[in-house]
Amino acid sequence: MAEAKEIKLVLEDGSVFSGKSFGSHKSIAGEVVFNTAMTGYPESLTDPSYKGQILVATYPLIGNYGVPSKEMENGIPKFYESDRIHVSGLVVSDYSFEFSHWNAGHSLADWLKQEDVPGIFGIDTRALTKLLRDKGPLLGKIVADNQDVDFYNPDNDNLAAQVCTPSKVEYGKGQHRILLVDTGAKYNILRCLLRRDTTVIRVPWNHDFSMEDYDGIMLSNGPGNPAVYQATIDQISKALQGDKPIFGICLGNQLMGIAAGGGTHKLKYGHRAHNHPVQKVGTDTCYITSQNHGFVLDTDSLGSDWEPLFVNLNDGTNEGIRHKNKPFFSTQFHPEASSGPTDTEFLFDDFIGLIETAKAGKAAV
């Protein structure tokens, strides 16, 4: 094995962390964020919500179980959240050059090189994470061979247009027709729907909902600043005038909340990892959730027909909303989590239940 090349991470506050290269040896820029999960880097790296971001893994050892095979199922990769890596770069403390797992197809380093994504190891990720927690979101860049690049803020761009499906795609042949509004949808949302007797019509972020025949709408997760996606918000506003069930996840929660009169703001350092405790409002029930978001919904300005559904027990921020009379609800966390806890996957059953009730009521009339 050739000796790893020198590479460095530079932050906008002037901090510099020197390390070794283990992916594509190139310079890139983005927003530096951290994830505290112990496992699940294949899912994280392919999560479209990380578009434009340099991901710091706080768990020290990364790469020890390699990367899954590229087996296909239902027309999508079986073990990934999308068809490619979306993070701009990966920062770890200790990279394992030896990997072992029953499903490993190749190494993490080889995968990063194949997809032209830089990785850097030998970084004190504990010190880096403490810095990000103290100062909040910081722009950064990975610099290879002194080939400097400008800092880049992904919040200024329409990232959904870069990661969503370019055209309408249909999956499954179930009895319930679900319109999946793709602003950067994770494949596990699609998998969870297909396991529940559905036909899923996946459409781009700016698609006209009124053109489609559907029983319910799924608003997906996605990257960036929700305020950028006005075309999606306008379509959701129209859908809220009707009565067909709507379920929003992560960015979908924020977009539905904006359409319902709420606002959003950026968190100091975001929620990215497993095991976030979330309470259902009005109950003593707590769920353990997986999360990945930098923005959060402000519920104070929601219309009077809306109310909070879940709240984060760590910082009190919103984790979901619901309409008081119509079958609309959303979560900020990820009930479809692949590598994390599955405590809340029942929400997909609740969504299908709302669809069945709505269809039964329509048939009775």
For residues 141 and 183, membership in a common domain is answered with: no
Query: In this structure, how many other beta carbons lie within 10 angstroms of the beta carbon of residue 12?
Result: 16
Residue 30 confidence (pLDDT): 98
CA distance 115 to 46: 11
For residues 203 and 346, membership in a common domain is answered with: yes
Domain boundary among 101, 132, 156: 156
Q: List Cβ neighbours of 99 (8 Å cut-off, separation of 6 or more).
A: 63, 64, 65, 66, 107, 108
For residues 181 and 65, membership in a common domain is answered with: no
For residues 171 and 152, membership in a common domain is answered with: no
The verdict on residue 229 lying in a domain is yes
CA distance 28 to 25: 10
Residue 193's domain spans which residues?
160-364
In CATH, what number is assigned to the domain containing residue 38? 3.50.30.20
Which amino acid is residue 210, in one-letter code?
Answer: S
Domain boundary among 133, 156, 179: 156
The verdict on residue 333 lying in a domain is yes
Task: Give the tens place of pLDDT for each residue, 91-112.
Answer: 999 999 999 999 999 999 999 9
The verdict on residue 247 lying in a domain is yes
For residues 200 and 115, membership in a common domain is answered with: no
In CATH, what number is assigned to the domain containing residue 334? 3.40.50.880
Q: Could you give the residue numbers annotated as active site?
A: 250, 334, 336
CA atoms lying within 13 Å on the CB side of residue 33: 29
The verdict on residue 297 lying in a domain is yes
For residues 145 and 267, membership in a common domain is answered with: no
Q: Residue 63 burial by CB count (10 A; 0-12/13-18/19+): exposed, middle or buried?
A: buried
CA-closest candidate to residue 93, choices 47, 135, 62: 62
For residues 216 and 292, membership in a common domain is answered with: yes
For residues 312 and 164, membership in a common domain is answered with: yes
The verdict on residue 325 lying in a domain is yes
Distance of CA 217 to the CA centre of its chain: 18
Residue 3 confidence (pLDDT): 80
For residues 151 and 174, membership in a common domain is answered with: no
Q: Which two tokens stand for residue 202?
A: 């996946």
Task: Give the tens place of pLDDT for each residue, 252-304.
Answer: 999 999 999 999 999 999 999 999 999 999 999 999 999 999 999 999 999 89
On whether the CB atoms of residues 50 and 28 are closer than 8 A, the answer is no
On whether the CB atoms of residues 92 and 119 are closer than 8 A, the answer is yes
CA-closest candidate to residue 328, choices 296, 349, 351, 294: 351
For residues 149 and 184, membership in a common domain is answered with: no
The verdict on residue 1 lying in a domain is no
Q: Is the pLDDT of residue 350 over 60?
A: yes
For residues 62 and 206, membership in a common domain is answered with: no
Domain boundary among 105, 135, 156: 156
Task: Give the tens place of pLDDT for each residue, 7-51.
Answer: 999 999 999 999 999 999 999 999 999 999 988 999 999 999 999
Residue 364 confidence (pLDDT): 65
The verdict on residue 177 lying in a domain is yes
Q: Which two tokens stand for residue 261?
A: 């009169």
Q: Is the pLDDT of residue 365 over 60?
A: no
For residues 53 and 72, membership in a common domain is answered with: yes
Work out how many domains the chain is built from and give that number: 2
Task: Give the tens place of pLDDT for each residue, 182-219.
Answer: 999 999 999 999 999 999 999 999 999 988 999 999 99
Specify the length of the chain in residues: 365
Q: Tell me if residue 296 falls in helix, strand or coil.
A: strand
The verdict on residue 66 lying in a domain is yes
Residue 2 confidence (pLDDT): 66
Quick one: pLDDT band at residue 1, thresholds 50, 70, 90?
low
Report pTM: 0.96
Residue 285 confidence (pLDDT): 96
CA distance 82 to 250: 16
Residue 341 confidence (pLDDT): 82
- What is the full DSSP assignment across 26-78? --EEEEEEEE--SS-HHHHHT-GGGTTEEEEE-SSEESTT-EE---EETTEET
On whether the CB atoms of residues 28 and 140 are closer than 8 A, the answer is no
